[in-house]
Amino acid sequence: MIDLIATTAADIVLFDSELSPRHQRELERIVGDNTQILDRTALILYIFANNANTREGGLQVELAQYEYRLPRLTRQWKHLARQAGGASGRTGFYRRCWPAWTWREAA
């Protein structure tokens, strides 16, 4: 399959079944950034999104797309999981986020 995608330079690969988020991520990693992997549900949501005529219909499709994408976003930002931080003391949140002056000094 990978060779066929490479030789035809396919932009989209469509699966006639449901792909788990893990399988979809692995396939996207294997085929690269130039090829989009879609399963049956993604195709149906794409068709509904293009044919939604009313505001309510568009919002319903958008909600369904968010619910579909949520499990697929899991573990996308693992590199942000362990950011440095401290207690709320001298190097903690308030020291880093708030300026040293008080509101009285700013006025």
Rounded Cα gap, residues 13 and 57, in angstroms: 27
Q: What is the predicted pLDDT for the residue at 91?
A: 53
Confirm whether pTM is higher than 0.75.
no
Q: Where are the domains of the chain?
A: 2-78
- Per-residue pLDDT of 6-54, as tens digits, reads 778 888 889 999 999 999 888 888 888 788 889 999 999 999 999 999 9
CATH (one of 3.40.50.11060, 3.30.460.10, 3.20.20.80, 3.40.50.300) for 2-78 = 3.40.50.11060
> Residue 37: exposed, middle, or buried by beta-carbon count in 10 A (0-12, 13-18, 19+)?
buried
CA angle 19, 21, 23 (to 5 degrees): 60
Reported in sequence order, the residue ranges of 48-105 that DSSP labels E, i.e. its strands, are none
